Amino acid sequence: MGVRYWGIFIIVFFTSLSLLAQEDEPGKYDFLLAGTLLREGDAEIKLFNALYHQNQYDGFEELNSQSSYFSSFLQVSIGIYPNLNVGFDLIYKSNILNAPFADSPFNPLLFNRKLLRSDSLFNKTSDYLPFTNDHGLTHVGQRIRFIPFKTIPLLSFQQSFYAPIERKIDGNWTSFSQIFFDYLINSKSNVFIELSLWYDFFPRPRALPFFKIFYNFFPNEHWTFYATTTIPYEYGGGIKYRPIPNLEFELLYTKYLPIERFFSGVLPQTFNLGVRHRIIH
């Protein structure tokens, strides 16, 4: 889908949500807003699975290969003070690099270390494309999240540090800094903003900044629909379902725009599935 069609889709999506919000009576729903902290004594368990997949041209005019990177975050958070949360994370990864284009993008979910192909792949200049297929528990980490200004309760800062376990898959020591802000438009919609910096500081330094925006629409107490973008290259939409007050399921799909400066010769997309449960005292 080209840039023009994505623009039309986003305009129609936002217009539809605005009309729905105007037609329905305002409600008061206590949603699990991403920008809010846990209250003192409360806890949360969250499992978020993200599959990043890219089709690759490798210098050819037609797609030649593909790579998929699966990451599963298991996060436990506890509210220890009114404006302070601490957490513990485990990260499990399963990656398949330079697989044939015809293979399924979901092969990393098989968690199979066996060779999935017998042929060899090369790029346009006849360089061999090494095949990588491995999985394991890669990182363990700690988090701290707090509200820096009591007068702005929906603005919070989070700092995470991740130590590598399975170094042959990902041996980087990592710092992840995030700033969150929730802006309530009305009782049925809000905007959530995230400014983040993922920094691998050893042994291969790499900095990845992110600026994400989420527009959330709450038609009733069970459902949330949202559009999201990572400026300027990623766009997508998601849905959350809350069958009971403290349990939430989430589906998210995003697609990257073919901007040569950021993604040369690849077509990325992501598939995401999450679930979280809050323990309220």
Give the pLDDT of the chain (281 residues) as one tens digit per residue: 444 544 555 455 444 544 444 444 444 455 667 778 999 999 999 999 999 999 998 888 788 899 999 999 999 999 999 899 999 999 999 999 998 888 899 999 998 876 555 567 888 888 888 888 899 999 999 999 999 998 988 899 999 999 999 988 999 999 999 999 999 899 899 999 999 999 999 998 999 999 999 999 999 999 999 999 999 999 999 999 999 989 999 999 999 998 877 777 889 999 999 999 999 88
The long-range contacts involving 259-268, CB below 8 angstroms and separated by at least 24 positions, are 259/232, 259/233, 262/233, 263/54, 263/233, 265/56, 265/57, 265/58, 265/59, 266/54, 266/55, 266/56, 266/57, 267/54, 267/55, 267/56, 267/63, 268/52, 268/53, 268/54
Contact 236, 13 (CB under 8 A): no
Domain membership of residue 232 (yes or no) is no
Domain membership of residue 102 (yes or no) is yes
Per-residue pLDDT at 31: 64
Q: How many domains does one find in the chain?
A: 1
Domain membership of residue 18 (yes or no) is no
Contact 94, 102 (CB under 8 A): no
- The SS3 call for residue 96 is strand
Domain membership of residue 219 (yes or no) is no
Q: Which domain holds residue 150?
A: 38-178+191-210+245-279
* Cβ neighbour number for residue 2 with a 10 Å cutoff: 9
User: Residue 30 has which token pair?
Assistant: 């206590």
Per-residue pLDDT at 14: 46
- Whole-Å CA distances, 14 to 85, 92, 128, 193: 33, 35, 46, 17
Domain membership of residue 236 (yes or no) is no
* Cβ density class 123-136: b for 16+ within 10 Å, e for less: beeeeebebebbbb
Domain membership of residue 43 (yes or no) is yes
* Cβ neighbour number for residue 264 with a 10 Å cutoff: 9
User: Residue 97 has which token pair?
Assistant: 């690099």
* Cβ neighbour number for residue 254 with a 10 Å cutoff: 20
Contact 87, 46 (CB under 8 A): no
In the chain the beta strands, taken as DSSP E runs, fall at 43-56, 65-81, 84-100, 132-146, 155-164, 173-186, 189-202, 206-217, 223-230, 234-244, 247-256, 266-279
Angle at 125 between CA 124 and CA 129, to 5 degrees: 75
Domain membership of residue 202 (yes or no) is yes
Domain membership of residue 136 (yes or no) is yes
User: Residue 31 has which token pair?
Assistant: 């949603």
